[in-house]
Amino acid sequence: MTTLSDYRNERLRKLDEIKSLGINPYPAKSRRDTKISDVVEKFDSLNGKTATVAGRIVAIRSFGKLAFIKIRDNSGEVQIFMQSEEPSKSSEKLFNTKRLKLLDSGDFIEATGLVGKSSTGEISIFSNAVRLLGKALRPLPGRDGFSNKEERYRRRYVDMNVNPEVRERLIRRSKFWQATRDFMNSHGFVEINTPVLEHTTGGADATPFETHMSALDEDFYLRISHELPLKRLLGGGFEKVYDIGPRFRNEGVDDEHLPEHIAFEAYSAYEDYEDGMNLYEEMIKHVAKETWGALKFNVSGFEIDLGNGGKPWPRIKYADLLKEKYNIDVFNPDREELKRILLEEFKKSEDKNDRSAKKSLDHTLETASTERLIDHVWKLIRKTSAGPFWLIEEPLSLSPLAKVVEENPLVTQRFHPIIAGTEMGNGYSELNDPLDQLARFKEQQALRDAGDSEAQMLDLDFVEMLEYGMPPACGWGNSERNFWILEGVSGREAVPFPIIKSR
């Protein structure tokens, strides 16, 4: 049985032979002047003209004095049609049909020749010799032989060659963020990158990563949110700002969560959460159209219409949903009843026989604050909600950075878009009262000191900024999880190099 080592040894032998011919198997520059897609799409204008193309060999067929090489670049595939010819001095470092045995599938080559069609009508580059650009020492596996998820994630560069839909998905991911930027820029926002390393991290309920900076001999956190630095910019005189970049949350890995991922946050002065819902509903639909060319999606069994039949998305109050579904009064909750609901729902779930999941639930029931238990019950409702709708007026205890609703100071001017069983964003009218903010930070710090690792830290510098003054504003954030969900794949399928345990 031929092993990978056998294939590699044979290619190493060929590499030595190529070098003995005085040929550099890894030249620094290609002379490519035409993309393969242009050869195909602009064939009528290029027919009979000379073009130089380059790409990876995906197939080689040789029939005596004739040879056919299929090559692929990022834009497509084309056939190189070769005929035997005695090499001239100008082609001493090129590969004609006599040297074809030294080339393999996976090698990168360059071909210069006339654009035309073969006798079978296939668009081709007619070239008697090709130039080697990079010798591959390992063969690419076949699609059927490279389906194990762990191996695909571990060798993503192979995965992108064997499964081209992975590369196409990453192109859509780029479009997703470009559409976000274009929309925000067209509405007067300025993109400003904010620090990743922070002395005090905040802006979300999440456990941070910790690191150490040798130059200062100090510990830092990797940011869990862009929020507080962007709001400092509002205090500095900016009115519409946003940032798109990585954030880090030291939590588990599942279909909707990656510890490192790309996120977007934006803040606009002199606006509130009502303005925010109008703007970001428009943005979500714009990004979907630009990325997928559609507003209707089938996601995890949910039929989603972001257009909502031409009507604005409904706006539903947090307290009303929990009262309707579980008869819970979020303003006067019964802790034991919350625990009973969570335990009963777990017994109905697919994880009921999972010991690890049961252990995690027991830990939550024993140690979580009442506010955190309410949030877990809300998530039971969320996962069965198709949407789209806006969840509004979350309790003050769960929103330490949002302004309260004047008519009901127990709830906040906070909003989430609920789509396909998940929260696809988070926004609120920003708190700009420094004394109120300080009191809320102290409450969060007390929860943190009591063992809630996701509670917010006391950030006195941020409070000081508020004491200098920050205008009323609306803030918003969403992560690339929105892309994963509408793309219909897990987070690890949708990023170029997913987190995986080292080996």
Q: What is the DSSP string of 464-477?
A: HHHHH----EEEEE
> Residue for token digits 């409702």?
381
How many alpha carbons lie under 13 Å from residue 228 in its C-beta half-sphere?
Answer: 28
Q: Which CATH superfamily is domain 161-313+387-494 in?
A: Bira Bifunctional Protein; Domain 2 (3.30.930.10)
Q: Would you tell me how many other CB atoms lie within 10 Å of the CB of residue 229? A: 20
Torsion sign over Cα 121, 126, 128, 130: negative
First and final CA of the chain: distance in angstroms? 26
Q: Tell whether the torsion through CA atoms of 71, 73, 78 and 80 is positive or negative.
A: negative
Share of the chain above pLDDT 70, in %: 98
Nearest to 481 by CA among 345, 305, 354, 300: 300
Confirm or reject CATH 3.90.25.10 for domain 4-139, answering yes or no.
no
Quick one: average pLDDT of 485-499?
94
Q: Residue ranges of the domains in the chain?
A: 4-139, 161-313+387-494, 317-378
The gap from C-alpha 117 to its chain's centroid, in whole angstroms, comes to 41
pLDDT of 350-371, one tens digit each? 888 888 888 888 888 888 888 8
Phi, psi of 417 (to 5 degrees): -85, 125
pTM to 2 decimals? 0.90
Domain 4-139 shares a fold with domain 161-313+387-494: no
66-125 pLDDT, tens digit each: 999 999 999 999 999 998 766 555 566 889 888 999 999 999 999 999 999 999 999 999
Q: What ranges make up the beta strands (E) of 271-423? A: 296-299, 302-305, 315-317, 389-392, 404-405, 408-412, 414-419, 422-423
Residue with tokens 């972001």: 306
Inform me whether the pLDDT recorded for 345 exceeds 80.
yes
State residue 300's pLDDT score: 86
